[in-house]
Structure 1
Amino acid sequence: MADSPLNSTLPGLPAAPARALGHIRVLDLTRVLAGPWCAQNFADLGADVIKVERPGAGDDTRSWGPPYLRDAEGRDTSEAAYYLAANRGKRSVTVDIATPEGQEMIRSLARQSDVVLENYKVGQLKKYGLDYDSLKREKPDLIYCSITGFGQSGPYAQRAGYDFIVQGMGGFMSLTGERDELPGGGPQKAGVAISDLMTGMYATIAVLAALSHRDRTGEGQYIDMALLDVQVAMLANMNTNYLASGTPPVRWGNAHPNIVPYQTFATADGHIIVAVGNDGQYRRFVEAGGCPELAADERFATNPMRVRHRSTLVPLLAEMVRRKTKQEWISLLETAGVPCGPINNLDEVFDNPQVQARGLRVDLPHPSGGKVKLVGSPMRMSATPPAYDRPPPLLGEHTADVLRDLLGKDEQEIASLRQRGIV
């Protein structure tokens, strides 16, 4: 196990809170989103995560703006908000891995790490001697996780993988979007990079499982994560619906194929979700809207009848809902016991009392002189909760510290490496 500096406590100070992964060091050779998201989970849980970046450029997402982080005077810095979302808690080290000296530094850091994460193209790190087989010879119990678009095998292995393309290729967009026969119908991607994010989460689980196996047996292993694999797997019941029936599911927009009404409706000032699960809830819904006759009508009295007469009923319900505001409807339906909810923009999300009570926003001091506003981990743990010691690092912020403390470089050696562009 790596001896992480996060476990140490200065003399005279109270002991640091227990960290679930405070004994783990992760060497993070990833960039953009899937890999950094995985690495950030480890940092939140106390691991020492060393993020290796290109000298002078760094992670691609550092420049994916605007918006950018603002300093104490309200001026834009060079840190893009996209980068800030996935790199909290890490130490940034710049190393040119195309140079022999840079490669040797990475090998030395890998020997002192428990986990290596990378998302280079298939085979790219082998020419640098930084692939799993090469590093395994120097550290047999190493956990090495590769993240690519299509995996290490198969006819697409050499293709570059992008979240948007994978959402389409993996079937998600065939299920997401308004029905083809309605205005605006057609396939739609998700509003966030879900295949990247879910791959980061699955990679986190796989690495934790591999660490548990290593702790029992002393054996390291290789993990092959692919965005396409994850995108297909996460379709869940839609996959089994297809496999059981042989009929591919279709897009239903915000409606439900088997329940009516179970969809969004426009109110006088926004939108709400109404999720009627039984006939009693439906009756209370239309009574709250002042239209009890829509419950008495035999065409709409039961869910099977409402599904059959969906095209007649839904426009009548839409007209009813438009007569009141979003908050009026939510108050009425919560009182009536009808499942409902708002469709909030992010202003409303972060003003929501439940979100505030759960402490989801985290503000950290930043080397720019300002504060970085982030969203905390949703993992709630009674004994070893996530902690936020470090903001997303500046490019190369910790290079000298890591080279000195882990690789034994003195100031003269570090200065020479900088002068030659190796770090």
Structure 2
Amino acid sequence: MSHRPPPLAGLRVLDLTRVLAGPWCTQNLADLGAEVVKIERPNSGDDTRGWGPPYLRDGEGHDTSEAAYYLSANRNKMSVAIDIATPAGAELVRRLAVDSDIFVENFKVGGLRKYGLDYESLKAINPRLIYCSITGFGQTGPYAHRPGYDFMIQGMGGLMSITGERDDLPGGGPQKAGVAVADLMTGMYATVGVLAAVHERDRSGLGQHIDMALLDCQVAMLANQTTNYLTSDVAPKRAGNAHQNLVPYQVFASNDGHLIVAVGNDSQFRAYSRVIGRPELADDPRFATNPQRVRNRAELVPILVELMGGGARDFWLAELEKAGVPAGPINTIDQVFEDPQVVAREMRRELPHPLAGTAPVASSPIKLSDSPVQYRHPAPTLGQHTREVLRDRLGLSDAEIDAIQMEV
């Protein structure tokens, strides 16, 4: 076992975020060893604490107060219950900011200025502070003051125009992703931005303001679809489970279920053609190269659909694996956590929890060889660490904390 500390050990983060994009960023930082103090409203806390059912269950199978949604994005943090709308509460957060490295918030543009918790106010007392703001549309532009939520951003940002079955097929039409990908990718981009600013601070000695917008991130994460449009002036359309730039790269129905075949190059197509018993397809000028397969998908795909429908799913999966052709099943989430690869990678963990005995979590996918992610504790209960943080960070006595809690 390595004795090297976690990569971000020693960094202090003040987390004034709720719901998903901001908490996803700060959970990443916490997983990597940063000390993350989550500031929550007394009595209610993060909005997602009430986004249930389902809720975490105790040893007798009864629901606790902790919603599964909240648990997904807040592990390894400490919860401090402070009402920043009161002068005493705002002052406590300012005092915590003095020796913090990172401040992450997702209030509406300008919403923290009246409490003296905006970037300029905190920069004045801590020039080294890295301040990350996460909003729907950013700090500038005509939509800056609009609220922004993942679902609407998936629509506005183009994702739903390329997600879902083709309009001319049954069930066709726009479709959102099964998880809040705009929120999640914003959280990931915010994590990258924060770590970049930490590295830059090593040179300059100064913090800076990071302006993260869900819409920006949604546009950026369209990746090849964005460039498909920018290079052709033709907006991509929904293609169901097919790929815009690769053929065959889609779902096929077998005689007892469905599987995904993901042919990424011409040698894989040659191997695939042998597996399905039609090696001559790889020599056909219409299909020999991927550009030709994309141009002639209307001729090729029906042939493949008929052939794949004649075999069993697990037969195809085994034969394609032997041939080195990427393929896989479409698992339900319970099947995901039963998959031997997922089990081997320890993607599920159980952490001690004060209300339920233990709480299940999905592991971080970041696998560091010598300073690995540490699972110190699950998402905290509301205000669980208020007294500890105010005592240890600000040096307050129990009597002072009691007096302050009466005010905030």
Could you state the TM-score of these two structures normalised by the residue count of structure 1? 0.90
Gaps of 5+ in 1: 1-13
Paired amino acid for 1:59 = D
Query: After superposition, what is the alpha-carbon deviation per residue over 1:275-333, rounded to whole angstroms, capped at 9, x for unaligned?
Result: 234566445545534x5398399586535665455335433432332333321210121
Q: Is the 8 A contact 2:261 2:328 kept in 1?
A: yes
Q: 1:292 — aligned with what?
A: 278
Following superposition of structure 1 onto structure 2, how do residues 171-250 of structure 1 map, counting pairs within 5 Å? 171-250=158-237
Q: What is the distance in 2 between the residues matched to 1:27 and 1:278? A: 47
Secondary structure (helix, strand or coil) at the match of 1:223 reads strand
More deviation, 178-187/201-210: 178-187
**1:107 corresponds to 2:94:** yes
* Structure-2 change in CA distance of 1:75 and 1:16 (3 Å): farther
Q: What is the distance in 2 between the residues matched to 1:293 and 1:260? A: 16
Q: Is the 8 A contact 1:361 1:374 kept in 2?
A: yes
Query: After superposition, what is the alpha-carbon deviation per residue over 1:49-104, rounded to whole angstroms, capped at 9, x for unaligned?
Result: 00000000000001111111111222111111110010000000000111000011
More deviation, 406-415/199-208: 406-415
Q: What is the distance in 1 between the residues matched to 2:63 and 2:214? A: 33
- Give, in angstroms, the shift of residue 154 of structure 1: 0.5
Following superposition of structure 1 onto structure 2, how do residues 13-24 of structure 1 map, counting pairs within 5 Å? 17-24=4-11
Secondary structure (helix, strand or coil) at the match of 2:209 reads strand
Q: What is the distance in 1 between the residues matched to 2:119 and 2:111? A: 12
Secondary structure (helix, strand or coil) at the match of 1:235 reads coil
**1:64 corresponds to 2:64:** no
Q: What is the distance in 1 between the residues matched to 2:268 and 2:199? A: 47
Query: After superposition, what is the alpha-carbon deviation per residue over 1:320-375, rounded to whole angstroms, capped at 9, x for unaligned?
Result: 32333321210121123332111211122111121111111121011114211111
Q: 2:76 — aligned with what?
A: 89
Matched-pair identity in %: 61
Q: Is the 8 A contact 1:175 1:252 kept in 2?
A: yes
Q: What is the distance in 2 between the residues matched to 1:127 and 1:162? A: 24
Paired amino acid for 1:341 = G
* Structure-2 change in CA distance of 1:274 and 1:369 (3 Å): closer
Paired amino acid for 1:295 = L
Q: Is the 8 A contact 2:161 2:237 kept in 1?
A: yes
Gaps of 5+ in 2: none
Query: After superposition, what is the alpha-carbon deviation per residue over 1:26-48, rounded to whole angstroms, capped at 9, x for unaligned?
Result: 00000000110110011111111
- Give, in angstroms, the shift of residue 150 of structure 1: 0.3
**1:302 corresponds to 2:285:** no
- Aligned residue-pair number: 407
Secondary structure (helix, strand or coil) at the match of 1:363 reads strand
More deviation, 257-266/215-224: 257-266
* Structure-2 change in CA distance of 1:258 and 1:116 (3 Å): closer
Q: Is the 8 A contact 2:128 2:205 kept in 1?
A: yes
- Give, in angstroms, the shift of residue 15 of structure 1: 10
Q: 1:349 aligns with which of 307, 325, 336?
A: 336
Moved over 6 A (4+): none
Q: What is the distance in 1 between the residues matched to 2:25 and 2:129? A: 17
Secondary structure (helix, strand or coil) at the match of 1:406 reads helix
Q: Is the 8 A contact 2:2 2:371 kept in 1?
A: no
Q: 2:137 aligns with which of 129, 150, 161?
A: 150
Q: What is the distance in 2 between the residues matched to 1:128 and 1:220? A: 21
* Structure-2 change in CA distance of 1:396 and 1:182 (3 Å): same
Q: 1:388 aligns with which of 367, 375, 378?
A: 375
Q: 2:105 — aligned with what?
A: 118
Secondary structure (helix, strand or coil) at the match of 1:365 reads strand
RMSD: 2.2
More deviation, 243-252/151-160: 243-252
- Give, in angstroms, the shift of residue 211 of structure 1: 1.2
Could you state the TM-score of these two structures normalised by the residue count of structure 2? 0.93
* Structure-2 change in CA distance of 1:197 and 1:378 (3 Å): same
* Structure-2 change in CA distance of 1:165 and 1:130 (3 Å): same
Query: After superposition, what is the alpha-carbon deviation per residue over 1:234-277, rounded to whole angstroms, capped at 9, x for unaligned?
Result: 11222222222222122212113344322111223332111234
Q: Is the 8 A contact 1:299 1:309 kept in 2?
A: no
